[in-house]
Amino acid sequence: MPKKKSAILEAVHETATGLHKAGLMDQTTLDLSTNKPQNS
């Protein structure tokens, strides 16, 4: 069964995406805030 998304994490993701679109957050920071793995 898939995990249910947390309302708080969904709000963080939405906020981070908005900040990125507005040019206030770079891609690396966006990836960190959404828990995407980093390519090292």
CA distances from 29 to 6, 10, 17, 20 (A): 20, 16, 10, 9
- Taking only the tens of pLDDT, the chain with its 40 residues reads 566 778 888 898 899 889 989 999 998 888 887 766 556 5
According to the model, what pLDDT value does residue 30 have?
A: 80
According to the model, what pLDDT value does residue 22 have?
A: 95
